[in-house]
A and B are shown apart, each in its own frame.
Chain A
Amino acid sequence: METFAFYLFSILIAGLFLVTVLSRNVLYAMTSLAAGMVLISGLFFILGADFLGVVQLIVYVGAVMALYAFGMMFFDATGVVKERNTPALLVFLLGGLSAVMLVVIFAAPAIGSHVTPSFRTPQGVDNPHAVGLVLFTKYLVPFEVAAVMLLVAMIAGIILAGKKMDTSLSKISDGEESQAAGKEER
């Protein structure tokens, strides 16, 4: 059963991501990317990483994809993307070579050596409980730093996508702002 699920998921994920990479339509690419993310969370559930799978569903499929869909409203994305592509043969040669190299790099140490855990999974508790135990003891400082990073990213996103990007926000006084708004209305 696990074998069947793994092969089904991996074939579907690879196919969907190939659609993402090769499609000329931004909407198709985004939709297949979202579907691939959902199936990747299925892989996490097979691996027993329940909490990671749920986070993958919420953050990637929920937040990131919604953000992309929102961003696509700014770009004229309904049509076909016009691109001047590099030669396909060169691309597939380079991509294939890096694929072979990556498979060798990934598979060689994992097959050869015995990896020993440095911080063993707590026994007798389910996965979200164990994640909480480890995250708030050993990884507390990176957790806080990640929180600060998300805050910085949120402020940066608001500032970058906000209005009046052609002038400095600190130089606009209230009177000028209403004047500018009046100009836009006319």
Chain B
Amino acid sequence: MIGLSHYLILAAILFAIGIVGVIRRKNLLMLFFATEIMLNAANIAFAAISSYTGDLGGQMFAFFIIAVAASEVAVGLGLLILIYRKYGTLDLDNFTMLKG
């Protein structure tokens, strides 16, 4: 029988995969993908806790996370398009103009 901890451990593994993506990738679009993975891991944890405790609050938080993710993608992709038009690349190593 599947318990709550199974779901939480799955969420932790997926979150760690997202962290590996954020650390490893240098392409801005890939960083966005890794962020989506981490948000989804949090969603799984929320839904699992909500289901196993009989409290709908977790599902509500998952809904709001989905809303935040949608608006993040809308604004973030607009910014990505701007960056790509200005510099012609999405590589993070090219955006070091702030270094002292």
Contact = CB atoms under 8 A, between A and B. Distances in A.
Contacts of A22: 24
A119 B12 contact: no
Interface string A59-100: 110011001101110110100011111101001101110110
Contact of B51 (A49, A60, A88, A94): A49
Contacts of A72: 29
Contacts of A37: 36, 40
A81 B90 CA distance: 10
B77 A161 contact: yes
B27 A154 contact: no
- Give the interface residue-count category, chain A: 35 or more
Interface of B: 1-2, 4-21, 23-27, 29-30, 32-34, 36-37, 40, 43-45, 47-51, 53-57, 59-60, 62-64, 66-75, 77-82, 84-85, 90-91, 93
Interface of A: 2-3, 6, 10, 13-14, 17-18, 20-22, 26, 29-30, 33, 36-37, 40, 43-44, 47-49, 51-52, 55-56, 59-60, 63-64, 67-68, 70-72, 74-75, 77, 81-86, 88, 91-92, 94-96, 98-99, 102-103, 105-107, 110-111, 115-122, 130-131, 134-135, 138-139, 142, 146, 149-150, 152-154, 156-157, 159-161, 165
